[in-house]
Amino acid sequence: MEGRDDGGGKVMGLIEKATKSTAQEVDPRLLKAIKSIVRYSDSEVRLSAQTLMELMRHNHSQVRYLTLFIIDELFMRSKLFRTLIIENLDQLLSLSVGFRSNLPLPSPPAVATMLRSKAIEFLEKWNLSFGFHYKELRLGFDYLKNTLKLKFPDLQANAARIQRERQEREMKTKEILRNKFDSLRDSFGLFKYEIEVTIKEIKECMEIVQWRGDDGVPLAILDEEDFEEIRCSHLRQIRLDSLKQSEKVEETSENRVVFDVLREQCKLLVTKHLISVQEGISLLIRVDVSDNRTRDSMLKDLIDIRNNILAAKKKWEEAGFTISMMTGTHENEETNEEEEDIWEEDDGKVGTDSVKNVAPVTRTQQSDNSSLLSSSEAKKSNKASNTKKVGSTGGSLRDKLISEAPVMNWGSQLSNWDSTTEVRANYRGLELESHWGRVDQDAVIPAEKIAELNLQATVYREERTETPPCRAPLKKGGLCQRRDLRVCPFHGPIVPRDDEGKPIIQESPLDESINQTSSTTGTNQDMPMDETTSDSDPNQLARQIAKQALKNIREKDKEVMRKRAKLVKVKVKEHNQEVLRDAAIASTSRSNVIDEEFDRVFAARKNKKQTFSSMRRKKTTAKDRISQRLLSNRVKSTNPQQLGQGNDEKCRETSANQW
Amino acid sequence: MWKAIKDRETGRIRSNSFANRFKSGRILSLQLSNRKDFVSPHRGSVNSLQVDLTEGRYLLSGAADGSAAVFDVQRATDYEASGLIAKHKCIFTVDKQHDNGHKFAISSAIWYPIDTGLFVTGSYDHYLKVWDTNTAQAVVDFKMPGKVYRTAMSSMAMSHTLIAAGTEDVQVRLCDIASGAFSHTLSGHRDGVMSVEWSTSSEWVLYTGGCDGAIRFWDIRRAGCFRVLDQSQTQLGIRPPILKRTAVSSKFYSAAKSSLGGQNRLKTLQSKHTGSQSVKGSSSAKASTEKSRQKRIHPGMLSTLDRATAHYGVVTGLKATNDGMYLLSAGSDSRIRLWDIESGRNTLVNFETGRIQTNKAIQLDTSDDPALVFVPCMKTVKTFGMWSGRTTLMLRGHYESVNTCCFNSSDQELYTSGADRQILVWSPGGSVEDEMVQDEVAEDKDNWSD
């Protein structure tokens, strides 16, 4: 009995102490102490309920506020406490919410509003968890909500909404994953094959390159024999590094081709295949499909592939090949040849030994200098050959396709070239809440849109052509350096000239065709050579004259031909006119008289017509008169040209299409 | 409980008394029912509740938004929380949207006492309407001279179908459903009539309580009121309940009195051995009774008697006990008075009411066996012992003032309604089935996480 009283006193003391603070929340330690004591026995619960209700009547919002917190804590835990509190629920509510106009919440007003909102929140929470068991709770909640129209935070509805949204999002994600999985499954074989091919190629390239480097290895070993002499550890370190460096492959002009292939392939492997493999793995891990077997097998395959890729990567990294270097070379290649040196130096910096590094640099420089022009050309051809090499494994169809394919700039858009998968717009892989309002997590950018966004604008770049200099000899010596497109304002049309500025006479296309007909390609080739070599040759002169004569004759022939053609034209014209005239005569009534006998011989059935026309003959209309006059004129004009009449038939044959 | 059943089976207890014992146990344990909810369709304070008199099954409610609704109290329409909570939605409502619904608040809605085919509503829009329950259409309506405060139909009536209507007007009108006209106009009150109650012993007797504080008794066969209750005319104690075996001899009487332990002391006016104070009162009372007897012969009463008041203020509620011997009245003076109908005297039982709503008619109810009175006292409903006036139960659940109490004696349930629009069910607690279901759901437990 005494102990209980003791405990009771303690509870009251604790509660009073807890509610005396000015903090926004009850001291958690005190709260814990209260809880542990109240848990001890029912009488404690009763006592605490009583104390708390008394404290709720305290005429200060802060005290009420803290008391309400303690009540909430105990309410959520003890059933007895709940029943005790609910007996006086209306009182508690009026004291905490202050909905009775005659019982407003006490000062301070700031805390009072907090008290009110907290009380409403607690009431809703209580109603959610225990409303089914306590009609009073339901009633109080209903009254405040529906009668007094107090605004409740509406926890349940919010929670339900959030839950629903999350579910929907998950469903959508699943759907997307499944689609991705399906597409991956469909393209898995090809994908795998491509990667295998790439890895194989890299391996081969590495073999080639390493074979080249074989010479260095014995050298290194040879160096190692001097190794004992070097005592200083620092020097030894340098030595070791240099040895390592020597193991690394070096790019020379000879194996540049191989290196280029290697670079390309490595880049492809790292930037595209490795990433897509990793994506595939994560996709397979996340996706939830009924077909677990294929998924597992695919997953296994993908992991193997990834390991292969990583192994390959490790290998080339061991060989002194780094991604940055590769990308560096790639850029350099495209921009400037000179900068390649810088890259080489960069490569050198990887090692600590500077002395050793000089050698490869100089070597490459030399090679560059020696064939600056040729190397760039070679590179271009290399590229072509690279692609061809790849194509040769893929088959002739691919070759053909590659020849047709447009040349694109390298970019990220190539990695999802032609893909039909949708891309999630707000997917970051991180569960981040946006500061700028609600974010639609399921937003999806359709594949067409992605394609549209990735559309590369290519600017037409005019191929720069070298405008040849005029190269006409100048009086003061030297050659004219003016570069005009066709005509030099000082020296006339630009013609190919030799080193001294003498024009190399080019044959006219007519001549060429003649030459072709005479099938003397050899002389055709000879001539410019001869001209450049010797100008003063008499033989040459004679030949030239002969040629000129030939030309003249041909020109004459041509003229004759042209005249003949003209004649034919004239004849055609005449013939046309004649036909016109005939037609005009036939259309008049007078002309029928001329044709009368002719008609009688040929067409007996035309008799009727004939009589018709004979009846109409006597009438001479104005039209007849005009036609008659026309006829007489024509007859006069045609008379002198009767000579060529015989040609008429020929003309008709040659130009049958005229009429 | 099992023992009692056994006793009943062996014949040691009569089945009647067994049932009474059982019922009284239930009535005394009334508490807010967690398992039965009425879904109130009303948007205003519910002014009137009545369970039908024939089946005790249909609850009629009338509310301040001009709507009346009927509920089935026995069959729930749906359930919540895995069958724990039975929701009773209204079977139908008649509201303002209805073609001939009331425009203003319904102050009173009562069942036709013979069956549930009709019900009557009285409204502040001066109309009193009789509705067909099945078609939910108004059958007859009566235009009253003022706001209708309360309507009543006699549960005993065999020879008339009169609706007594207390209105703003000083006259009480009796509306005949059969003819559709006013059959009586009872004049006597000096102010509006707040409460109307038919006698439970005679079909011709009507009690009315007015805003002038008077309670008048009317015999509708005669002109004028035959009695005005006077709060100053008192008798101490009440008559003993009439037991059938008492073929009233004074000897037995006194024995019975002593056996009751002085609880039901009857101090008749004729006994002159009591204190001087009571002698005084008794003598004056005697005179008045004689006068009233005279007046009963002659229609109309003496003006001095006519001015007697039952309450200081408005008589807001009247309720005749089921045995027809007593009348309970509630007034705006926050008093409940228990009147002996036969003698017309105040029995001076002090009901421990707090405050009682003053400006509105309230509806009291009684239960028989443990003679209890259910009284709406502002936000609570109090249960008093009818003879002792002691509070037995305080039913707290409403958030605003309670208007009506309606006791359903067949189920031993109490329905209350108030200005918070709710209709609450108070049912006997701690029953076996209740606890079984509680176990089933079993969520309401201690939860000490630390």
Q: What are residue B242's phi and psi, to 5 degrees? A: -75, 115
- Joined together, the tokens standing for residue B431 give 């029953």
Same domain for A90 and A190?
no
The H or E element that residue A354 is part of is none
Q: CB of A198 within 8 A of CB of A262?
A: no
What pLDDT is attached to residue A11? 77
Q: What are phi and psi of A480, to 5 degrees?
A: -70, 125
Task: Name the domain count of chain A.
Answer: 3
Q: Name which of A103, A95, A93, A91 is nearest A141 in CA terms.
A: A93
Q: Are residues A279 and A198 in the same domain?
A: yes
Residues B358-411: tens digit of each pLDDT? 888 888 888 887 788 999 888 888 888 888 888 888 888 888 889 899 998 888
CB atoms under 10 Å from CB of A310, counted, come to: 12
Report the predicted TM-score, pTM, of the whole model to 2 decimal places. 0.54
Element (H, E) at A627: helix A622-638
The verdict on B439 touching A (C-beta cutoff 8 Å) is no
pLDDT of residue B212 exceeding 80, the answer is yes
A143/A187 same-domain check: no
CATH of B2-239+300-433, one of 2.130.10.10, 2.70.50.60, 3.90.1150.10, 2.40.30.10: 2.130.10.10
Q: What is the pLDDT of residues B161-174, one digit of tens each?
A: 899 999 888 889 99
Residue A345 is predicted with a pLDDT of: 41
Same domain, A93 and A191: no
Which residues does chain A have with pLDDT short of 70? 1-8, 210-232, 243-255, 320-395, 427-435, 506-538, 585-621, 633-659
Tokens of A311: 């192994």
User: What is the predicted pLDDT for the residue at A471?
Assistant: 82
Q: What is the pLDDT of residues A43-92, one digit of tens each?
A: 888 888 888 888 888 888 888 888 888 888 888 888 888 888 888 888 88
Statement to judge: residues A61 and A192 lie in one domain: no
Instruction: Write the secondary structure of B172-200 as one string of H (helix), E (strand) and C (coil).
Output: EEEEECCCCEEEEEECCCCCCEEEEEECC
Locate the chain B residue with the closest alpha carbon to A99. Answer: B399
Report the candidate in B376, B393, B322, B331 with the shortest Cα–Cα distance to residue B49: B376
Q: How far apart are CA A526 and CA A522, in angstroms?
A: 6
pLDDT at residue number B110:
92
Q: Are residues A184 and A135 in the same domain?
A: no
Chain B within 8 Å of A139 (Cβ-Cβ)? yes
The residue among A267, A291, A322 that closes a domain is A322
Among residues B85, B87, B48, B52, the alpha carbon closest in space to that of B68 is found at B48
Residue A137 falls inside a structural domain: yes
Distance, in angstroms, between A135 CA and closest chain B CA? 5
Q: Is there a single domain that holds both residue A188 and residue A116?
A: no
How confident is the model at residue A368, as a pLDDT? 42
- For residues A267 and A130, membership in a common domain is answered with no
* Cα–Cα distance for residue pair B429/B27, rounded to 1 Å: 9
Q: Answer whether B444 sits within 8 Å of A133, measured CB to CB.
A: yes
Q: Which helix (H) or strand (E) holds B376?
A: strand B372-377
Average pLDDT, chain B: 79
The domain boundary, picked from A453, A478, A498, lies at A498
* Cβ <8 Å between A77 and B443: no
Please name the member of B80, B420, B447 whose beta carbon is closest to the beta carbon of A77. Answer: B447
| A199, A142: one domain | no
Selected residue with higher pLDDT from B292 and B103: B103
pLDDT of residue B357: 84
Decide: B113 and B92 in contact? Cβ < 8 Å.
Answer: no
What's the pLDDT at A513? 45
Query: Over the range A492-527, which residues count as b (16 or more CB within 10 Å of their CB) and which as e?
Result: eebbebeeeeebeeeeeeebeeebeeeeeeeeeeeb
Nearest to B266 by CA among B275, B257, B274: B257
Question: Could you tell me whether strands B106-111 and B336-340 are parallel, antiparallel, or unpaired per DSSP bridges?
Answer: unpaired
Q: Would you state the pLDDT for residue B276? A: 41
Contact predicate B33/B74, CB 8 Å: no
Neighbours of B415 (CB within 10 A): 28
Q: Which pLDDT score is estimated for A394?
A: 52
Please give the structure tokens belonging to residue A186: 């469909």
Query: Number of CB pairs < 8 Å for A and B?
Result: 60
Residue A95 belongs to some domain of the structure = yes
Question: Do residues A278 and A313 make contact, with C-beta atoms less than 8 angstroms apart?
Answer: no
Residue A165: per-residue pLDDT: 92
Instruction: Compare CB distances from A32 to B396, B438, B450 and report the shortest one's residue.
Output: B450
Choose from B413, B415, B446 for mutation: most chain A CBs within 10 A: B446
The whole-number pLDDT of residue B238 equals 63
DSSP readout, A62-96? HHHHHHHHHHHHHHTT-HHHHHHHHHTHHHHHHHH
| Contact yes or no for B435/B81 (Cβ under 8 A) | no
Cα separation of A74 and A71, whole Å?
A: 5
- A624 in a structural domain: no
For residues A31 and A131, membership in a common domain is answered with: yes
Burial class (CB in 10 A: 0-12, 13-18, 19+), B319: buried
- In angstroms and rounded to an integer, the radius of gyration of the C-alpha atoms of chain A is 52
For residue A53, give its domain range: 9-153
pLDDT value at position A328? 42
B270 touches chain A (CB under 8 A): no
Strand pairing class (B36-39; B162-167):
unpaired
For the stretch B405-440, pLDDT in tens is 999 888 888 899 988 888 888 888 765 555 555 544
- Which residues in chain B (368-427) have CB-CB distances under 8 A to chain A? 379, 396-397, 399-400, 420-422, 424
Asked whether the predicted pLDDT for residue B445 surpasses 70, the reply is no
> Residue A269 has what DSSP assignment?
I
Q: Which residues of chain B lie closer than 8 angstroms to A82, CB-CB?
A: 444
Q: How long, in residues, is chain A? A: 659
Asked whether B194 and B209 are in contact (CB, 8 A), the reply is yes
pLDDT over 60 at B218, yes or no: yes
The secondary structure of A585-606, three-state, reads HHHCCHHHHHHHHHHHHHCHHH
Domain presence at residue A162: no
State which of A482, A498, A514 marks the end of a domain: A498
Q: Measuring CA to CA, which residue among A192, A213, A335, A191 is closest to residue A262?
A: A213
Q: How far is residue A145's CA from residue B347's CA, in Å, rounded to a whole number?
A: 45
CA distance B92 to B107: 18
Residues A310, A204 share a domain: yes
Q: Of A101, A133, A149, which to mutate for an interface test with B (greatest number of B Cβ within 10 Å)?
A: A133
Instruction: Kindly indicate whether the ipTM for this predicted assembly is greater than 0.85, answering yes or no.
Output: no
Which among A321, A218, A189 has a CA at the least distance from the CA of A262?
A321
| A20 and A102 inside one domain | yes
